[in-house]
């Protein structure tokens, strides 16, 4: 049996390249892809530090642009050599949930099936691997536009579309609304992407709150106004608010700052069982509060088009790039907002 290398989280601070079986085409809708630009998710850093309930061993990497290596006979319109974005969640595109756009809960695969995360949803491997099998390839894979840099677009698999869903549908419903983003969760890329997307989509103003000076500087470059600390426990009110803080105080600030009948979306992951929430204030203002995992696949084309059009510049969020072999050391160091690993692909370098 052929083997390949896969970067594997073994425990807090311990990452190893392991030899694992090389995936093969097992169904008529499969493709094999070779990741060429892999980005860290904001969740990866706490996983590597042992700060989550996730225990090793588990494969790492769930944001990538990849080169198609091979496709099964039933796959049409996807050719070997193409560069594609690969959503981190597995979805068939045809079940009831997928047809409703709820691809995070595809009924055709085990619940929480995903790359680069705990394997209770299936053993799909991670993108920091030599090769990856993609089922439902025609549904899953999204071609990378010619004018888009793979390194810049690597996070479209997850963090960029996770940020997109916090502001884009809301701005479509209320064009030119003002947006508040409370950032800072983990390395902090999610709040920054949300700020950039809101500005790109024509928000009348974007206020980004974060104590970290480096992230505030990036947010300014993306078109947001920034403050380090609010003077009060409420700002605004803002029709659209985002909690990307993963901090209970940040969550409360976002909820309290949401205008009457506004929408607050939390993308922070709160592992603790009990989280204080100002429900009475949410009740009297009649806000809509949203949380939960992103439905990644349906949002990828719109997010990719923002990048291709030059309105969104995700490369501003990437504070470090590194080669493939540097992955274990760079991940362990953790001094980045967004880290992207790249390696050569046919005819070019990612």
Query: Do 152 and 187 have their domain in common?
Result: no
Q: Are both 20 and 147 inside the same structural domain?
A: yes
Q: What is the mean pLDDT of residues 59-84?
A: 97
Q: Are residues 173 and 69 in the same domain?
A: no
pLDDT of residue 120: 76
Q: pLDDT band for position 347 (50/70/90)?
A: very low
Whether residues 307 and 254 fall in one domain: no
pLDDT of amino acid 88: 98
Residues 225 and 175 in one domain: yes
Residues 226 and 169 in one domain: yes
Rounded to 5 degrees, φ, ψ at 165 are: -70, -15
| Length of the chain counted residue by residue | 350
Same domain membership, residue 113 and residue 14 = yes
- CATH number for position 139: 3.90.180.10
- pLDDT of 348 higher than 70: no
- What are the tens digits of pLDDT across the range 107-156? 999 999 999 988 778 889 999 999 999 999 999 999 999 989 999 999 99
Distance CA 205, CA 235 (A): 13
Number of compact structural domains in the chain: 2
Same domain, yes or no: 114 and 177? no
Residues 13, 85 within the same domain: yes
Q: How far is CA 294 from CA 105, 237, 299, in A?
A: 10, 25, 9
**Is the same domain home to 278 and 197?**
yes
> 102, exposed or middle or buried, with CB in 10 Å at 0-12, 13-18, 19+?
middle
Answer yes or no: do 152 and 189 share one domain.
no
Q: What is the pLDDT of residues 258-304, one digit of tens each?
A: 999 999 999 999 998 789 999 999 999 999 999 999 999 999 999 99
Q: How high is the pLDDT of residue 121? A: 80
Q: Which structural domain, as residue segments, surrounds residue 60?
A: 3-158+294-349
Q: Please return the burial class of 231, using the count of CB atoms within 10 Å of its CB with bins 0-12, 13-18 and 19+.
A: exposed
Alpha helices per DSSP H over the chain: 44-48, 96-99, 137-140, 150-153, 159-173, 189-200, 213-221, 248-256, 279-285, 296-308, 327-333
Specify the range with the lowest mean pLDDT, choosing from 15-19, 196-200, 312-316, 346-350.
Answer: 346-350
What is the CATH classification number for the domain harbouring 278? 3.40.50.720
8 A C-beta contact, residue 263 and residue 240: yes
């Amino acid at each position: 049996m052929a083997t390949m290398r896969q970067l594997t989280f073994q425990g807090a601070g311990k990452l190893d390249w392991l030899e694992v079986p090389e995936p093969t085409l097992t169904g008529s809708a499969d493709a094999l892809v070779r990741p060429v630009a892999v980005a860290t998710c904001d969740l990866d850093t706490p996983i590597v530090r042992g700060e989550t309930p996730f225990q090793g061993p588990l494969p790492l990497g769930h944001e990538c642009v990849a080169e198609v290596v091979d496709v099964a006979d039933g796959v049409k319109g996807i050719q070997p050599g193409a560069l594609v974005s690969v959503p981190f969640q597995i979805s068939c595109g045809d079940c009831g949930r997928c047809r409703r756009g709820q691809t995070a809960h595809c009924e055709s695969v085990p619940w929480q099936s995903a790359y680069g995360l705990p394997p209770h949803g299936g053993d799909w491997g991670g993108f920091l691997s030599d090769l990856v099998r993609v089922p439902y390839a025609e549904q899953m894979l999204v071609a990378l536009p010619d004018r888009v840099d793979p390194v810049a677009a690597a996070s479209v698999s997850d963090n960029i579309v996770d940020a997109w869903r916090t502001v884009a549908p809301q701005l479509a419903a209320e064009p030119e609304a003002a947006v508040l983003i409370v950032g800072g969760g983990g390395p902090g890329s999610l709040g920054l992407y949300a700020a950039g997307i809101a500005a790109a989509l024509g928000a009348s103003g974007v206020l980004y709150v974060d104590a970290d000076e480096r992230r505030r500087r990036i947010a300014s470059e993306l078109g947001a106004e920034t403050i380090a600390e609010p003077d009060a426990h409420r700002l605004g009110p803002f029709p659209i608010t985002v909690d990307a803080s993963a901090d209970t105080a940040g969550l409360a600030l976002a909820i309290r700052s949401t205008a009457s009948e506004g929408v607050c979306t939390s993308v922070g992951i709160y592992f603790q069982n009990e989280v204080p929430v100002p429900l009475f204030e949410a009740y009297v203002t009649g806000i809509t509060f949203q949380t939960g995992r992103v439905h990644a696949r349906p949002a990828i084309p719109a997010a990719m088009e923002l990048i291709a059009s030059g309105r969104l510049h995700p490369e501003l969020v990437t504070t470090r790039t590194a080669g493939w072999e540097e992955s274990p050391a760079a991940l362990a160091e953790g001094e980045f907002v967004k880290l992207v690993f790249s390696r050569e692909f046919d005819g070019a370098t990612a």
